[in-house]
Structure 1
Amino acid sequence: MKPPFAHKLKHHPAVLENQAQRAASAQLRLADKITDFAGSMPFVYIHAVVFATWMIFFEAAPWPKLTLIVSLEAIFLSAFVLIGQNRQAAFQQAKADHDFNEQELELKTNTELTRTIHKLTTELHRRFIEEPHNQPRGDG
């Protein structure tokens, strides 16, 4: 559930790009929906009820089929977990790349500002400390 002020939040450019990529692909949207549901408590509750009902009421010897079904489901769910991990790793890399570029730009800007301040300070020092005799006097 999104907070009520979520529409006012500004997102990192990597987040916006990732959201656009996910929205553009039907496969990724489906994978997102499956992993969202598979990682929820309703998923757990539904499975507990279905398996308990099946074992108690519909199957005399449920263990061979149950083992097969649960194993197959685990295989598919693990694939969705890996998809999610790959997606998260790609997102983190995109965010790190963006942050690195922004920090490099900020470092260059700060370096230029520092050089300009040093140049101005040196010029002021030269004018007012080293050459005070050239300064206009206000008593005149």
Structure 2
Amino acid sequence: METDRDHPNRQVSSHMAGIVERNIKALLARRQQEKARKILSDKLADTVTDFAGSLRFVWIHILLFGGWIAWNLGWLGLKPFDPSLVVLAMAASVEAIFLSTFVLISQNRMAALADKRADLDLQVSLLAEHEITRLVTLVTEIAKKMDIPAAHDPEIAELAKDVRPENVLDTMERHERDSL
């Protein structure tokens, strides 16, 4: 009998794969919407940050700063225009100020996006926990009706209780305080 493992490039046409495909498309569409909604300053900050984080940026600076230093140390046989390299240091400092600002703008926006994704993840996890709790209750009742001994396991009763996220956070904070 052939399986999907025998043909790894074959499209899997199961119900789960369709749901996964739908979710991927929805997430990609959402990213495109967020990208389209970015304001000009965010686009500029991202462009500058992307460029500043590239090897092209590094090579340009190696060439520019190296050439500046070589020229002003007299290694190229040209008359120095910044023999103490003070102008170079000032230019590099101003550039660093602006680059760090652009990086912070991009990081702040990415942190806000990460927070939104974490909130979504939490909501999905809470929904899944609620659904699993309901399933445990349902399966336990079915097991009791069928007189299956495992239905009387005390751990199952504990799992059938709804978990309140605020209680979990309070417990985590209490344990954290107690461990200090």
TM-score (norm 2): 0.56
Task: Establish whether residue 35 from structure 1 lines up as the match of residue 35 from structure 2.
Answer: no
**CA distance change for structure 1 residues 99 and 106 in 2, over 3 Å: closer, same or farther?**
same
Q: Aligned Cα RMSD in Å?
A: 2.7
Following superposition of structure 1 onto structure 2, how do residues 1-140 of structure 1 map, counting pairs within 5 Å? Answer: 10=24, 13=27, 17=30, 19-24=32-37, 25-55=39-69, 56=71, 57=78, 59-61=81-83, 63-125=85-147
Higher helix share: 1
Conservation of the 8 A alpha-carbon contact between 2:82 and 2:88: no
CA distance in 2, matches of 1:60, 1:106: 66
How big is the shift at 1:86?
A: 1.2
Q: For residues 22-72 of structure 1, give each alpha carbon's deviation from its aligned partner in whole angstroms, at most 9, with x where no partner exists.
A: 332222122111101001111011112122333405624251211111110
How big is the shift at 1:12?
A: 8.2
Letter in 2 for 1:20: Q
Count of residues paired in the alignment: 118
Conservation of the 8 A alpha-carbon contact between 1:31 and 1:80: yes
CA distance in 2, matches of 1:80, 1:12: 30
Instruction: Give aligned-pair identity as a percent.
Output: 34
Q: Which runs of 5+ in 1 are unaligned?
A: 1-7, 127-140
Conservation of the 8 A alpha-carbon contact between 1:38 and 1:77: yes
Tell me: higher relative CO, structure 1 or 2? Use CA pairs within 8 A at least 6 residues apart. 1
**CA distance change for structure 1 residues 117 and 78 in 2, over 3 Å: closer, same or farther?**
same
CA distance in 1, matches of 2:144, 2:66: 82
CA distance in 2, matches of 1:74, 1:102: 41
**CA distance change for structure 1 residues 117 and 36 in 2, over 3 Å: closer, same or farther?**
same
**CA distance change for structure 1 residues 66 and 49 in 2, over 3 Å: closer, same or farther?**
same
Letter in 1 for 2:62: A
1:61 alignment partner, SS class: coil
Q: Which runs of 5+ in 2 are unaligned?
A: 1-20, 72-77, 149-180
Conservation of the 8 A alpha-carbon contact between 1:18 and 1:91: no
